[in-house]
Amino acid sequence: MWLKPTTTEKIAFAFLTIAITTVVAFVFLILYYITANGIGAISIDFLTNVPLKRMTEGGIYPAIIGTLLLITGSMVVALPLGILAAIYLNEYAREGKLTWTIQMAISNLAGTPSVVFGLFGLALFVKYMGFGPSILSASLTLALLVLPIIIRASEEALATVPKGFREASLALGVTKWQTIRKVVLPIALPGIVTGAIISVGRVAGETAPILLTGAAFFLPRLPDSVSDQFMALPYHLFVLATSGTNIAKTRPIQYGTALVLLLIVLGLNLIAVAIRRHYRKKMKW
């Protein structure tokens, strides 16, 4: 018994449609569920107060600040390093063993589990270099984690700059480095910024690495220095949802925290998408 090819096609396309609908429906479900349950918990007080009564009441202010500090700390390290590395790979590197090794290292770093980065941060920064469990250790660990993302995004952005621009500048007797700085980088900037924003979202959402390198279970004050421990949104959500003192009672706070985290991360992604669309329209050659 064989079906007519056109009938088979209808059945197959129906299945494919079901698959993509399932995926999209799931995205709606998770966004809707977190938003609907979390929106009630969010208020000015929630965002600006410290957690109270063993984290069963109060706000998430220190966790928000902790996350912002982590973002700043990791970006200060990862951005310059990542962009310079991408410039080398796209503008200078020649085919060869060395370039191949670097490319392989980048894709393997990108595939290394975040908890392994956490262990590495613990061994290198916390213990060996003596930074202790701290913002410094956690930021450095996260910086290494997002480095491959920044390099890949910047490389891609640089690769879209048409060769003609470089040649035009070089033909005017401008040096290679000046050409890169004055001509290539400005054109690639939107793409680089997009990559940077996406990696900020990644830093904001990562939990396993900071769990091993300095995030505090509970610290109802702001950290004093980079060598202090800290609270952070994702770890705070994890603690409240799995090992808080009263998990059932603090559900609203959990939903609120999840929503704030989701808003930050997806908001950043949205900005990245907007930048990309804006410049893609503007730049046509």
Partner 1 sequence: MRMDGKFKEHAIETVLLSTSAVTVVILFLICIFLFGEGAALFNEISFFDFLSGKFWYPTSEPPQFGLLPLFLGTLIVTVGAICISVPLGVASAIFISEIASAKVAGMLKPFIEILAGVPSVVYGFFGLVVIIPNLQKLLNLPTGQTALAGSIMLGIMALPTIISISEDAISAVPSFIKEGSLALGATRWQTIHRVTVPAALSGISAAVMLGIGRAIGETMTVMMVTGNTAIIPGFPDGFLAPVRTMTATIALEMGEVPQGSDHYHALFVIGAMLFVITLLINLIAESIKRRYMFKVGS
Partner 2 sequence: MTVKFEEGIETEIEVRDLNLWYSDNHALKNISIEIPEKCITAFIGPSGCGKSTFIRCLNRMNDLITNCRTEGKVLVKGENIYEKEVDVVNLRKRVGMVFQKPNPFPMSIYENIAYGPRIHGERNKKKLDQIVEETLRSAALWDEVSDRLNSPALDLSGGQQQRLCIARTLAVKPEIILLDEPCSALDPISTSKIEDLMMKLKNNYTIVIVTHNMQQAARVSDYTAYFLLGELIEFGTARQIFEMPREKSTEDYITGRFG
- At CA 253, angle to CA 247 and CA 256, rounded to 5? 135
The CB-of-35 to partner 1 minimum distance in angstroms stands at 12
Q: Identify which of residues 6 and 22 has a Cβ nearer to partner 2 in the complex.
A: 6
Ramachandran class of 225: left when φ > 0, alpha when ψ lies in -120 to 50, beta otherwise = beta
- CA distances to 83, 112, 169, 175, 239 from 181, rounded to whole Å, are 12, 32, 11, 10, 46
Alpha helix positions (H), the chain: 5-38, 44-48, 61-87, 97-111, 114-121, 135-159, 163-171, 176-179, 185-205, 208-213, 233-243, 251-282
- Ramachandran region, residue 132 (left: φ > 0; alpha: ψ -120 to 50; beta: rest): left
**Helix, strand or coil for residue 215?**
strand
What, of partner 1, partner 2, none, does residue 147 touch, CB below 5 to 8 Å by kind?
A: partner 1
Q: Which does 79 bind (CB under 5 to 8 A by kind): partner 1, partner 2, none?
A: none
**From partner 2, partner 1, none, interface partner of 2 (C-beta below 5 to 8 A by class):** partner 2
The closest of 164, 192, 201, 166 to 180, measured between CA atoms, is 166
Q: In whole angstroms, how close is the CB of 99 to partner 1 at the nearest point?
A: 9
Minimum distance, C-beta of residue 48 to partner 1, in the bound complex (Å): 22
Residue 1 binds to partner 2 (criterion: CB under 8 A):
no
Give the H or E element holding residue 248: none
The 2-41 contact track toward partner 2, x by CB under 8 A, reads x--xx-----------------------------------
CB of 16 to partner 2, least distance (A): 18
* Count of chain residues binding partner 2 (CB under 8 A): 3
Minimum gap (Å) between residue 8 Cβ and partner 2: 10
Contact partner, 34, from partner 2, partner 1, none, Cβ < 5-8 Å per class: partner 1
Partner whose binding site includes residue 93, from partner 1, partner 2, none (CB under 5 to 8 Å by kind):
partner 1
Q: Is the dihedral of CA 43, 231, 56, 261 positive or negative?
A: positive
Nearer Cβ to partner 2 (9/167): 9
How far apart are CB 11 and partner 2 at their closest, in Å?
16
- Give the footprint of partner 2 on this chain (CB under 8 A): 2, 5-6
